[in-house]
Chains A and B, each alone.
Chain A
C-alpha cells in the first residue's frame, strides 16, 4: 500500500469524510481522464418508450445523477442531442470497437420482414433494424439488461395477434446472459439499482428467470396491505373499495415484485392504491394476465 493511501488522524474518518474523499478522487480522476465512467447504450426497440420516461421519474438517484455520476449514456433515441447518421454511427462504433459498454434495451424485437417492422435508424442509405442493432450490440456488450415487459418476453408489443412478430431479447440473443427487469414500465429503482450493483459490486444475484432477487423475490400478495381482508374473506365488489381486489381479477397472487413496499413515483402510491394489479411484472403480461378486471366471475 502506498503511503498516500493510508488515512491517519487528524484526517477525518467519518463516513461523510470518506465519501467526500472518494467522490473527490473519482471526480479528479474523471477530469484528468484517468478514470472513465462506464458507457451505457439505452436502446429503444419496438415498444412505447415508456421505460426511459420512467427512468426520468427516478428520485434517488435521479436522472441527472445517473448521467453525470454513474454512467456515460452514449445513445438514447429519446434523450440524445445528436440525430441522424451521426447518432446511429455511435452504435456501430461500439459494435466494431473494443470499448466496454453496458447495453440496456427497452421494447421488443420485431422479427417480421427480417426486422423491417421497427427501424432504429438509417446508415449509408440502408435501414438499420432493431433486430440488427439488438444482435450486433447484444453480442458485444459487457452486460445486457432487458428493461421492461417488452424486452423481457415481448410484453404488450407481442400481445396477440402479434402482427409484428415481436419477441423478447433472449430469443435473438439465445446464448447470452441477460439481466431481466420485467414491469410495464420498469420502476426507476429496479433499473438504477441493478445498474448500481453492476457498477459497484458486479452482477446482482438473479433468480431462475434472470431477475435480480433484490427486487423480484416476494409475492405481491404476501406483502399487500389488503392481505388481512383476503384472509378474512372480505372482498371489494367494485373498484375503489378498500378491501381485497382478488374477486375483481387482481393478479397480485401470481406476481413477484416489491411494489407493495417500494411504491411508485417517489414512493407515494402503487397500482393497488388505485385499482387491481394487472401482473405487469409477471411473465406473459398482458395476454396471460387478461382480463384485468372481471365482475362476472369469482376466478378465471
Chain B
C-alpha cells in the first residue's frame, strides 16, 4: 500500500512509566492513532483487605513523580468516608505540600522531559544523543537553554526539599494524612520553605517562562497541532477555602465551547476498546468489570473515562482555561506554555497559603474507622483531575477505585470517539515519517504519567500472548 505506513514507538521515553504509540500514517499525516499503556500492577485490588490508613501511603507507590497527589486524593476520600471535617489549617498545609509537588513536577517535565524535543543537548553524553534532526533554535540560545536544563535540577530538587521539610521525605511523603497533615511546622520550617520558594519563583519567572516562549517562537506550528477534543475539566483546584475563597479554579467543565459547573455524577468509564468484559459503561462506585484480553477490538488496559459521554482533557491548560487566565488556544504548545505559567501561579498560591500557617497547630486525632462507609476524594493534581473512591467494610477497605489524570488524557477509544491524546495526534502532518518528532512533542505536551494510567488490572482469563502488531 503506497503512502501508508505504520509507526510503533515503544518506549516513548522522557515520561513517567511506559507508553506505546501506534500510529498509521497516510500521505504524510496521521490517519489513525492508538496510545497504549504497557505495564500492570493492580493497585485497586491491592487495597482490598488493608487498613484504610495504609491507602494513603501505599497508593503513593503508584507513581514516583506524583506520589503526593495520591496521598492527597486518598486522605480526602478517607475523610469523606470517616466523616472527618478537615480544618482550614489542615487543608492549608496539605495543599502547601501538594504545591511543592506541582513545582517539582512542572520543572522536571519542562526541562528534563520536554526541552530535549526542541533543544539540542550536549552530544558528548549518551543520555542526550538522538537522531532528531529538527533542532531550530540558534546555537547560542540553544546552549543557554541546555544550561538551564542543568540549572533547573537544583530548583526541582529544592521543590522536593520543601516537600520533605513538611512531609518527611520525597518521593513518597509521610506528612499528608487524614486531617490534612501530620506534624505541625514551626517558624524555622516555615521560613525554610519560604526562602526556597523565593528562589524557585525567581527561576520560574526569569528562566522557565522565557525559555518556554523561546521554544514557542521557534516551533510555532505546534500552536496548530495536538488540539484534542477541546473539552476541558477540573475538579476544582485550591478552591473554596473558608476565608480565602478560591485561589485558582472552581469545579468546572468546558464542553462544546461552553463553561458549566462540574458534577461528579457525569463521570463514567467505558471499556469497549479496553481489555475488560462486563457493562460497557460503569460509574466509579459500581462493581468493577473483569478483564478479557481476547476481545477483538481491545488494545489497551487504560479504560475510557468519559464526562457526559465525551473524552476530556485535564491538566494545567484545562485549569488555566477554566479559571479564565489563559485562553490563547488548545494545542500542544498552549499546553506547554500553560504548564510553565501554572508553575508561577502555584508559587503565588503557595505563598498565600504559607502566610496563613499558624505554627504548632496540632490537627491529628485518634481517627476511628467505621464498620461500614464509603467516600470519594476528587482533587486537582499536577496532571489534572484525580479521583479515589473507597468503600470500607468490617473496618477494612473492601473496594478501591482510582481514575487518574493520565487515564483521562490517555484514555482508550469508545464506540463514538477516540481518547484525548489520540484525537490530539490525528491528522498531524509529519515532515519526515522516518523521524516523526512531531508525535513525541504532542504526546509529551500532556505530561503523560503511565505509571498512574495503568495501575489497574483485574484478575480473569489469561491469554497466551498479547498481539502487539
Q: Which residues of A are interface residues toward B (Cβ below 8 A)?
A: 39, 44, 46-54, 56-59, 62-64, 67-68, 72-74, 76-84, 86-88, 90, 110, 112-113, 116-122, 125-127, 155-157, 159-164, 166, 184-185, 237-241, 264-266, 268-276, 278, 280, 286, 290-295
B169 partner, pick from A125, A126, A270, beta carbons under 8 A: A270
Q: Which residues of B are interface residues toward A (Cβ below 8 A)?
A: 8-18, 20, 38-42, 45-46, 49-51, 53-54, 57-58, 61-65, 67, 108, 112-113, 116, 121, 125-132, 150, 153-154, 156-158, 160-161, 163-175, 177, 181-184, 192, 362-368, 440, 451, 457-459, 462-466, 468-469
A184 CB contacts on chain B under 8 angstroms: 61, 172
> Are the CB atoms of B64 and A50 closer together than 8 Å?
yes
A113–B293 Cα distance when bound, in Å, is: 12
A34–B351 Cα distance when bound, in Å, is: 52
Main secondary structure of the interface of B (DSSP, over half): loop
A50-B171, A119-B18 given; 15 more Cβ-contact pairs under 8 Å: A48-B67, A50-B65, A79-B14, A81-B129, A84-B10, A87-B13, A162-B42, A163-B459, A240-B181, A240-B364, A268-B164, A273-B183, A274-B182, A278-B57, A292-B57
> Are the CB atoms of A159 and B18 closer together than 8 Å?
no
> Are the CB atoms of B18 and A166 closer together than 8 Å?
no
> Are the CB atoms of B182 and A63 closer together than 8 Å?
no
> Are the CB atoms of B127 and A67 closer together than 8 Å?
yes
Given contacts A82-B129, A163-B42, A275-B182, contact A294 B58 (CB under 8 A): no
Closest to B149 in A: A64
How many Å from the CB of A190 to the closest CB on chain B? Answer: 13
> Are the CB atoms of A83 and B11 closer together than 8 Å?
yes
> Are the CB atoms of A164 and B40 closer together than 8 Å?
yes
B113 CB contacts on chain A under 8 angstroms: 78
A274 CB contacts on chain B under 8 angstroms: 166-169, 173-175, 182-183
> Are the CB atoms of A264 and B168 closer together than 8 Å?
yes
Closest to A117 in B: B40
3 nearest CB pairs, A to B: A50-B64, A274-B168, A265-B164
A295–B65 Cα distance when bound, in Å, is: 30
Given contacts A80-B13, A88-B11, A265-B163, contact A163 B171 (CB under 8 A): no
A121–B468 Cα distance when bound, in Å, is: 11
Tell which of B16, B39, B62 has the most Cβ of chain A within 10 Å: B39
Tell which of A72, A88, A266 has the most Cβ of chain B within 10 Å: A266
> Are the CB atoms of A53 and B64 closer together than 8 Å?
yes
Closest to B104 in A: A53
Given contacts A50-B61, A119-B39, contact A275 B157 (CB under 8 A): no
Closest to A44 in B: B18
A184–B366 Cα distance when bound, in Å, is: 26
A67 CB contacts on chain B under 8 angstroms: 125, 127
